[in-house]
Amino acid sequence: MKEPGNIRRVFLLERNIHAKENGMATTEDTYPPALHRHTPQELIAAFAIACMIGGLLTDIAYWKSAEFLWADFSAWLVSTSAVAAVVAILAALIGHLVARPRRRLVPRLPYLLAGILVVVLAVFNTLIHSRDAWTSVVPWGLTLSAATVFVLLLTAIWRMVELRRADREVQP
Amino acid sequence: MTSLRNALLLLPLLGLASACSDDDFDPQTQIGADPELPEQQQYLFPPMHIASVVGWKKDETPAVAPGLKITAFATGLQHPRSVYVLPNGDVLAVESKGPGTEPARRPKDLVMGWIQSLSTGGGGDQPSNRITLLRDADGDGVPEVKSVFLDHLDSPFGVALVGNDLYVANTNAIMRYPYRTGETAITAKPTMLTALPGGPIDHHWTKSLVASPDGTKLYVGVGSNSNITENGIQAEENRAAVWEIDRTTGAWRIFASGLRNPNGLSIEPVTKQLWAVVNERDELGPNLVPDYMTSVRDGAFYGWPYSYYGQHVDPRVMPQRPDLVEKAIAPDYALGSHVAPLGMTFYAAGALPEKYRGGAFVGEHGSWNRQKFNGYKVVFVPFEDGRPSGKAEDVVTGFLDKDDEARGRPVGVGVDAKGALLIADDVGNTVWRVTAGS
């Protein structure tokens, strides 16, 4: 049997965590495994996350320069991120409803809460960024952008730790 | 990150209450020399409440104060925004539309443009940007002659005649035309006297115009290029100011600054001082900042964008300028928050009841930045010895119907040769004429 590559191995681990929790077959049981497919919401959410990080950077640039163009960029990035995040949620919800019960992936509570928090922050941040001039960014726009990215980072770190732990379990 | 993305599964129910209450604030406290200025309040959802347009049905008119009568002087105009009366009594109705060159720079501009398009009607796609001459030689309130006086103008607003020189303030330049008494159309080519700040943004585009009493100077109102510098301070160069232009050379200087959007430039008849009505900034609350009328003093700075009513600093402007804030003077007379005064004329004639002599009529286009409508009427401010001497009172109302839909919206005002008050109504596409009577 051929060993899977590194990136692929992460996907398999991912899949196996869900499989175990939901009492489904893991890759150890059925090999070669089903290919991991990206869902639409994953791609949209990746775009939203990029916009959130970009929005924090342009917020910082405006805070430092008071140059109005940076505030305009921020308004576009933050608003786009909020719209994309909401669309991702809708896509996920639809996917969840139409999927066959045994293939449903229900995120665990910490990720669910983190996701909800990020969307709430992004929506509020969009409203703050709809103000005119300085106070569209400083202090609350910048604060919310930083908080959004902070929650994203924490979640990502948490995930990495979890994967590594699972990695050790699967391949001692 | 897969789980995180999957975690975006549940749509959070955002119970965001819209900031829509105007509380119990009494707008009357913001009329006069010393208006109440509440705490600043910045929004999550700026209130946008614009009256939807229904127009005037046949035989409908605005309501007038006791002792006055109102009739439609001209109907079927295309977005009339100001009126000017020539020495022979001919009335010029300036039909004008914004240049529409302001780019949507932010998502907010798209949303606001869309909301505004729902409620501003008036004129449709008919040709505007022209001046129509109305002649009522027998003075019965019905013009016998209606002719296109000047056409294909560039968002015109102010008009001033000095001798045989007729000046039209387009949004981007003062143009001079030769005028002969009695003409109903001008075909001569204009000469440009002075270029004015115009597009591509041209946020406040109406250029109000008046000649100095001796006729040597012209005063022009040049509005700001933004609400509160969100298009950058560079875009505000020579704007938010009243310019003084030498009539012979076209040379200009800033006469007074810090006036966000000055309109209705008029010479007060007793003191011969220049006055203006000014639209103040939005999005600091339903009751901030009161629009005002003020004498315009040479060299004075009235605050915008850094502060309002003297030293009330606006936190949205960065970098701040404490040096300028310190110099800022408070205007003479507040008219109320978001009433949008766009026209003013002093009443020096004698045809209307005695109490109107010497005071000022102000056309209030009406609010969009607060839930409860404010303005949408013509008010009168009494004057004594060249200074406001009492509370503003309603003269012409009823531009909103009982369902708060706009039948019309008043803009520029003027006084005709018979001493009647003329009102340009850019949503009702009418020029109204107010006379004594009942």
B43 reaches A (C-beta below 8 A): yes
Among the partner residues A42, A116, A132, nearest to B2 by beta-carbon distance: A42
B14 reaches A (C-beta below 8 A): yes
A22 reaches B (C-beta below 8 A): no
- A-B C-beta contacts closer than 8 Å: 136
Kindly identify which residue of chain B lies nearest to residue A134, measuring between CA atoms: B316
Kindly identify which residue of chain A lies nearest to residue B107, measuring between CA atoms: A76
What local confidence, expressed as pLDDT, does residue B1 receive?
37
Percent of chain B surpassing pLDDT 70: 93
Mean pLDDT of chain B: 92
How far apart are the C-alpha atoms of A123 and B371, rounded to whole Å? 23
By DSSP bridging, strand B360-364 and strand B262-267 are unpaired
Q: Is the peptide bond before B322 cis (omega within 30 degrees of 0)?
A: no
What local confidence, expressed as pLDDT, does residue B19 receive?
41
Task: Yes or no: say if A163 and A13 are a contact pair by the CB < 8 Å rule.
Answer: yes
Stretch B362-386: mean pLDDT, rounded?
A: 96
Q: Which residues from chain A sit within 8 angstroms of residue B40, using beta carbons?
A: none
What local confidence, expressed as pLDDT, does residue B166 receive?
98
How far apart are the C-alpha atoms of B327 and B305, rounded to whole Å? 13
The residue with greater pLDDT, A168 or B157, is B157
Residue B286 has pLDDT above 50, yes or no: yes
B17 reaches A (C-beta below 8 A): no
Is residue B77 very low, low, confident or very high in pLDDT (cuts 50, 70, 90)?
A: very high
Contact A135 B42 (CB under 8 A): yes
B46 reaches A (C-beta below 8 A): yes
Q: Mutation target for B interface from A132, A152, A161, A163: give the one with most B CBs within 10 A.
A: A132
B225 reaches A (C-beta below 8 A): no
Residue B16 has pLDDT above 70, yes or no: no
A161 reaches B (C-beta below 8 A): no
Q: Which residues from chain A sit within 8 angstroms of residue B106, using beta carbons?
A: 72, 75-76, 130
Which of the residue ranges A100-104, B315-319, B362-366 would you say has the lowest mean pLDDT?
Answer: A100-104
Neighbours of A42 (CB within 10 A): 18
Q: Which residues from chain A sit within 8 angstroms of residue B7, using beta carbons?
A: 107, 111-116, 155
Which of the residue ranges A32-46, B288-302, B408-422 would you say has the lowest mean pLDDT?
Answer: A32-46
Distance from CA of B238 to the nearest CA of A (A): 19
Contact B5 A46 (CB under 8 A): yes
Which of the residue ranges A1-5, A24-28, B226-230, B345-349 would you say has the lowest mean pLDDT?
Answer: A1-5
B67 reaches A (C-beta below 8 A): no
Burial annotation A62-82 (CB, 10 A radius, 16+ → b, else e)? bbeebebebbbbbbbbbbbbb
What local confidence, expressed as pLDDT, does residue A61 receive?
98
What local confidence, expressed as pLDDT, does residue B6 receive?
38
Tens digit of pLDDT at every position of chain A (172 positions): 455 555 566 666 776 777 777 766 665 555 555 555 678 888 999 999 999 999 999 999 999 999 999 999 999 999 999 999 999 999 988 888 887 776 666 778 888 899 999 999 999 999 999 999 999 999 999 999 999 999 999 999 999 998 888 878 766 5
Distances (CA, A) of B207 to A94, B122, B252: 54, 20, 15
Distance from CA of B313 to the nearest CA of A (A): 13
Distance from CA of A165 to the nearest CA of B (A): 16
What local confidence, expressed as pLDDT, does residue B116 receive?
79
What local confidence, expressed as pLDDT, does residue B14 receive?
32
Amino acid at B13: L
Kindly identify which residue of chain B lies nearest to residue A137, measuring between CA atoms: B316
Distance from CA of A133 to the nearest CA of B (A): 4
Among the partner residues B4, B44, B228, nearest to A114 by beta-carbon distance: B4
Question: Chain B, 313-342: which have a CB under 8 Å from a chain A CB?
Answer: 315-319
What local confidence, expressed as pLDDT, does residue A169 receive?
76
Among the partner residues B1, B12, B231, nearest to A68 by beta-carbon distance: B231
Contact A92 B227 (CB under 8 A): no
Q: A140-170 and A6-21 are packed helices; what angle lies between their axes, rounded to 10 degrees?
A: 90
Q: What is the 3-state secondary structure (H, E, C) of chain A?
A: CCCCCHHHHHHHHHHHHHHHHCCCCCCCCCCCCCCCCCCHHHHHHHHHHHHHHHHHHHHHHHHHHCCHHHHHHHHHHHHHHHHHHHHHHHHHHHHHHHCCHHHCCCCCHHHHHHHHHHHHHHHHHHHHCCCCHHHHCCCHHHHHHHHHHHHHHHHHHHHHHHHHHHHHHHCC
Among the partner residues A66, A107, A131, nearest to B3 by beta-carbon distance: A107
What local confidence, expressed as pLDDT, does residue A96 receive?
84
A65 reaches B (C-beta below 8 A): no
Q: What is the CATH number of domain B47-436?
A: 2.120.10.30
Question: Chain A, 70-109: which have a CB under 8 Å from a chain B CB?
Answer: 71-72, 75-76, 79-80, 85-86, 88-90, 92-93, 96, 105-108
How far apart are the C-alpha atoms of B360 and B59, rounded to whole Å? 28
Q: Which residues from chain B sit within 8 angstroms of residue A120, using beta carbons?
A: 12, 14
Is residue B67 very low, low, confident or very high in pLDDT (cuts 50, 70, 90)?
A: very high
Percent of chain B surpassing pLDDT 90: 86
Q: Which residues from chain B sit within 8 angstroms of residue A112, using beta carbons?
A: 7, 9-10
What's the pTM value of the predicted model, to 2 decimals?
0.90
Kindly identify which residue of chain B lies nearest to residue A39, measuring between CA atoms: B6
Among the partner residues A107, A132, A152, nearest to B227 by beta-carbon distance: A132
Contact A96 B7 (CB under 8 A): no
Kindly identify which residue of chain A lies nearest to residue B14, measuring between CA atoms: A120
ipTM: 0.89
Dump pLDDT digits (tens) for B87-129: 999 999 999 999 988 889 999 999 988 887 776 654 456 889 9
Ranges of each domain in chain B: 47-436
